[in-house]
Copies of this chain bind each other. A is one copy, B any other.
Amino acid sequence: MKDLSKLFYPGSVAVIGASENVLKWGSIIISNVLDGGFKGEVHPVSTSNETVYGRRASKSLRDIGAPADLLIITTPAATVMGILRDCVATGIRNVVIVSSGFSEAGEEGRRHEREVREFALANGLNVVGPNTMGIANFKEGLHGMFSHVRLKKGGISLMAQSGNVGNQIMYWAEQQSIGMSKFVGSGNEAALMCEDYLDYFHGDDDTSVIIMYLEGVDNGRSFMEAARRTTRDKPVVLLKGGRTRVGTKAAMSHTGALAGRIQIFSAAMEQAGVSMVDSQSEMLTLAAAFDSMPLPKGNRIGVVTLGGGWGVITADECEERGLTLPPLPEDVKARLDTMLPSFWSKGNPVDLVGQPDPNLFRESVEAMISSDAYDAVILLGIINSFKTAMRLYEATMRLGKPVEMNLEDMERTLDDLQNVFLDNIADLMEKYEKPIYPVALVAQADQPVVHAPKSPKKYNAIIFRTPEEAVSCLAKQYRYSRYLRKQGRKP
């Protein structure tokens, strides 16, 4: 297995082709490294600029002095081989080739890329790319890439064969307050292949979930083995681009002969314990769920809802995805009977019939999650229900009936109550080692998807946007949990 630790944890970074030409790669990368909180040394290298963003630029790699742990190349393809020879000469071992103009650009590029591959292998260089948008380690503040995102630290590491897809996933993670650990765009994979990154993330202590966007796998067997090794310890979530003949053609990384192989690929991946997803947004939410919640140990689901229609939609989704909704055991029914109005549903889903009482929410959730009859609980419409109440107060205020409390204070109080409730969910997940899936009544546009309790807990609460999203995550987490058990591992 290749040692990629200095690639992701470099003490120093050099950027060749560094410039201040804002929209060019040579500026985008170095401004991101300098602005992103990286604590190590940063060396701009440029033949044409004396200084770059206030740093003196070296004329060449030799000028830097001690060899940089990581070198990022942004100069044209034709310069790359010469630079790699300088790396060997100066002792640089980890290189990210951002430059394009290789196998994606015709016959000469392909020949050029073979040269890079052979040189890297012969000289033991770790080469990322070419034609990649870069690399990042959010814990280290290392942003050696195109995307100027600033993410919270978390356990999710991403490998993407497309820079665009990687870019979008990271922007979404930022928007939703989903923490990440590392990113690498593998580009054309001249030397380091997707299975190398998978193996590395497998062994990386800062990574708890691995997500991958793949268009093509050159060495299926070797990738499959890496996947099987990894999923015994960490969940792997995979989105495959180029699933169809047309998609494959668009990927341009394969011939038409590969059409139809996606079914075989997906089946092999599922066999290896990999969670396959259909979209980027599903990939991210599932990864956050893996990173934040305990796994369900079985498929018996309890549903608690603030109103009827949602329970129906959720019951449908569960049934369609192989989850069951067992009836309420007598003891749970009795416990809920003491809390709820006489006309409550008396079945699973448990309908709180519109009673907007935070204590009731907490106690009914605990009544369900503590029962041996259920492996997980889905919670519908309670989160953000107070926003609805605020609308009522605002309307009556405008109608000339002042509320006892200042509306801003009231909103803050209700918001605090909700945060306590979400903290409670994290507590209950830890207490019973079972997952709870709260679905917002209406997701607020500016609301983080991941709720981290004020004092850090073993688990975080995830706020799901739709019942479909919650059930889909739950079903895939259950599938992975079952896989682990079959492998003799404890979920």
Contacts and interface: CB of A to CB of B under 8 A. Distances in A.
Interface of A: 20, 22-23, 27-28, 31-32, 34-35, 53-54, 101, 105, 147-149, 160-168, 171-172, 175, 213, 215, 241-247, 249-252, 278-281, 306-316, 318-320, 324-325, 343, 345, 347, 349, 356, 381, 388-389, 391-396, 398-401, 403, 441-442, 445-446, 465-466, 468
Given A31-B392, A148-B395, A244-B316, 4 more contacts: A101-B343, A168-B381, A241-B313, A244-B319
B309 A395 contact: no
A405 to B, nearest CB: 12
Given A399-B31, A442-B172, A445-B446, A315 B244 contact: yes
A12 B311 CA distance: 36
A312 B247 contact: yes
A27 B396 CA distance: 9
A147 B147 CA distance: 40
Given A20-B401, A53-B400, A27 B320 contact: no
Given A27-B396, A325-B246, A241 B309 contact: yes
A241 B396 contact: no
Nearest to A345: B252
Nearest to A439: B168
A250 to B, nearest CB: 4
Shortest 6 CB-CB contacts between residues of A and residues of B = A162-B309, A247-B316, A148-B391, A244-B319, A164-B307, A171-B442
Contact of A175 (B324, B356, B403, B442): B442
Nearest to A311: B250
A468 to B, nearest CB: 5
A22 B392 contact: yes
Contacts of A53: 396, 399-401
13 contacts: A20-B396, A22-B393, A31-B395, A31-B396, A53-B396, A53-B399, A105-B343, A148-B388, A164-B307, A241-B312, A242-B312, A251-B312, A279-B466
Given A247-B313, A312-B242, A388-B148, A399 B34 contact: yes
Contacts of A400: 53-54
Contacts of A310: 162, 164-165, 168
Most buried by B among A32, A148, A246, A345: A246
A164 B243 contact: no
Nearest to A356: B23
Contacts of A27: 392, 396
Most buried by B among A171, A250, A319, A349: A250
A310 B241 CA distance: 9
Contacts of A35: 395, 398-399
Most buried by B among A34, A35, A54, A315: A315
Nearest to A282: B468
Contact of A441 (B168, B381, B391, B393): B168
A114 B330 CA distance: 33
Most buried by B among A54, A319, A441, A468: A319
A246 B392 contact: no
A161 B308 CA distance: 10
Contacts of A23: 356, 389, 392
Contacts of A245: 319
Contact of A313 (B165, B166, B312): B165
Contacts of A251: 312
B162 A319 contact: no
A467 to B, nearest CB: 8
Contacts of A466: 279-281
Nearest to A176: B445
Contacts of A250: 311-312, 314-316, 325, 347, 349
Nearest to A146: B388
Nearest to A324: B246
Contacts of A278: 468
A27 B403 CA distance: 14
B247 A315 contact: yes
Nearest to A165: B309
Contact of A445 (B175, B324, B403): B175
Most buried by B among A101, A213, A312, A320: A312
A247 B399 contact: no
Contact of A246 (B307, B319, B343, B401): B319
